[in-house]
Amino acid sequence: MSTSITQLTLTRPDDWHLHVRDGATMATVIGHTARQFARAIIMPNLKSPIITTALAQAYRQRILDALPTDSHFQPLMTLYLTDDTSPGEISRAKNSGVVFAVKLYPAGATTHSSSGVTHLQKTYSALAAMEACGLPLLVHGEVTDPAVDIFDREKIFIEQQLMPLTQQFPDLKIVFEHITTKDAVDFVLESGNNVAATITPQHLLLNRNAMLVGGMHPHNYCLPVLKRETHREALVTAATSGKAKFFLGTDSAPHARDAKESACGCAGIFSAHAALEFYATAFERAGALDKLEGFASHFGADFYGLPRNTGSITLERREQTLVNEVTFGNKTLVPFFAGKTLAWTLL
């Protein structure tokens, strides 16, 4: 049984969905990810979004400049899809060698998504170019219709947007990001091998009670919002299935404490400080530690057509009490599982 394992050595993993922000705040959080992961897909939803290859190249350089000098961490950049993204911009992105995907935010769905897509049809020429050159589309899969209940927004998105999209572009590589429902798991399983999904630690470890029972818990609030227990169980089954369609993407999304503990608190959970320990905890609870390496270190690279990493990391079964605060620019943030104890420690 897995409880007898005291050390777990994995091919060095990658984070296929990460927010690091920019400037002084980025400089204070990037090291957490660089310590755990070889590479990360960097989300483009800055206040002024990364809508061109030139912006992505400059943002990448700022990240590299903020890393410790001995770091080999590689930021994998993305473009922010808008109604106006041109096929020419897609080919510039593909040819740049530094942009690895394009992110779809439905306008208004989440943090800094106001420049996002208003109608998918407006992006069809860009999507056709991506399908042709093999640049993946990363999808924030929630409808924004105010009439749709927030807990149903992913399921309705699948029916109204994603199914038609996969029919229109059958060869487009799609990563359904941070999936939160059994409906999303089923959709991914029923789709071709060009459709995969990332799963966050919070959606594996928590259900919506963690956000709402005993008071409001703003530090467990993210988008898509935590769902009921049956959905969490479906996500654990998918992540630990050993199926290559499901891989690691933390969606670590830093916000200062005051922006979370507010009358209108921001969506986003910071998990980069102990990402692998969180996943190890979830996989161990499912009795599936042997499936962690594929999920964390192999399947994402394979899907993106990138080489697997050559180095390794080791997790040890040694208790650690997680920090209560993390520096975030000139403020602090409250990280995931603040002050709680985990059974695993990354060496």
**Choice between 31 and 265, CB closer to ligand DOR:** 265
Please classify residue 87 by burial: count the beta carbons closer than 10 Å to its beta carbon, then call 0-12 exposed, 13-18 middle and 19+ buried. Answer: middle
Say how far apart CA 308 and CA 203 lie, in whole Å.
25
**Choice between 198 and 309, CB closer to ligand DOR:** 198
**Nearest alpha-carbon partner for 224 in 209, 240, 203, 210:** 203
**Choice between 153 and 298, CB closer to ligand DOR:** 153
Per CB under 5 A, the segment of 70-78, 244-252, 294-302, 321-329 that binds Zn ion is 244-252
267 binds, among Zn ion, ligand DOR, none (CB under 5 to 8 A by kind): ligand DOR
What are the angstrom distances between the C-alpha of 68 and each of 179, 229, 253, 323? Answer: 32, 40, 21, 21
Per CB under 5 A, the segment of 46-54, 88-96, 238-246, 251-259 that binds Zn ion is 251-259
In the complex, minimum distance from the CB of residue 139 to ligand DOR, in angstroms, rounded to a whole number: 11
Assess 154 for contact with Zn ion (CB under 5 A).
Answer: no
**Nearest alpha-carbon partner for 40 in 161, 138, 130, 116:** 138
245 binds, among ligand DOR, Zn ion, none (CB under 5 to 8 A by kind): none
**Choice between 18 and 234, CB closer to ligand DOR:** 18
222 binds, among ligand DOR, Zn ion, none (CB under 5 to 8 A by kind): ligand DOR
In the complex, minimum distance from the CB of residue 72 to Zn ion, in angstroms, rounded to a whole number: 24
In the complex, minimum distance from the CB of residue 91 to ligand DOR, in angstroms, rounded to a whole number: 27
Q: How many residues does the chain have?
A: 347
In the complex, minimum distance from the CB of residue 213 to ligand DOR, in angstroms, rounded to a whole number: 20
Sequence-distant (≥ 6) Cβ neighbours of residue 300 within 8 angstroms:
14, 16, 198, 247, 248, 249
Which chain residues interact with ligand DOR by CB under 6 A?
A: 19, 45, 110-111, 140, 222-223, 253, 267-268
Give DSSP secondary structure letters for 312-347. EEEEEEEEEEPPS-EEETTEEE--TTTT-EEEEEE-
**Choice between 105 and 303, CB closer to Zn ion:** 105
**Choice between 131 and 251, CB closer to Zn ion:** 251
129 binds, among ligand DOR, Zn ion, none (CB under 5 to 8 A by kind): none
What are the angstrom distances between the C-alpha of 228 and each of 110, 121, 145, 210, 234? Answer: 20, 32, 21, 10, 10
Backbone angles phi, psi at 199, to 5 degrees: -135, 135
110 binds, among Zn ion, ligand DOR, none (CB under 5 to 8 A by kind): ligand DOR
Assess 251 for contact with Zn ion (CB under 5 A).
Answer: yes
Say how far apart CA 184 and CA 155 lie, in whole Å.
7
Catalytic site residue from 251, 258, 290, 302: 251
DSSP annotation of 83: T
249 binds, among Zn ion, ligand DOR, none (CB under 5 to 8 A by kind): none
Per CB under 5 A, the segment of 99-107, 114-122, 249-257, 286-294 that binds Zn ion is 249-257
Name the strand (E) or helix (H) holding 178.
none
Count of C-beta atoms within a 10 Å radius of residue 166:
19
Assess 142 for contact with Zn ion (CB under 5 A).
Answer: no
- 251 in catalytic set: yes
C-alpha angle 76-77-80 in degrees, rounded to nearest 5:
150
In the complex, minimum distance from the CB of residue 233 to Zn ion, in angstroms, rounded to a whole number: 23
103 binds, among Zn ion, ligand DOR, none (CB under 5 to 8 A by kind): none
**Choice between 251 and 277, CB closer to Zn ion:** 251
Instruction: Tell me which amino acid residue 35 is.
Output: R
Tokens of 162: 């994603």
Assess 89 for contact with Zn ion (CB under 5 A).
Answer: no
The set of catalytic residues is 251
Task: Give me the residues that bind Zn ion (CB under 5 A), please.
Answer: 251
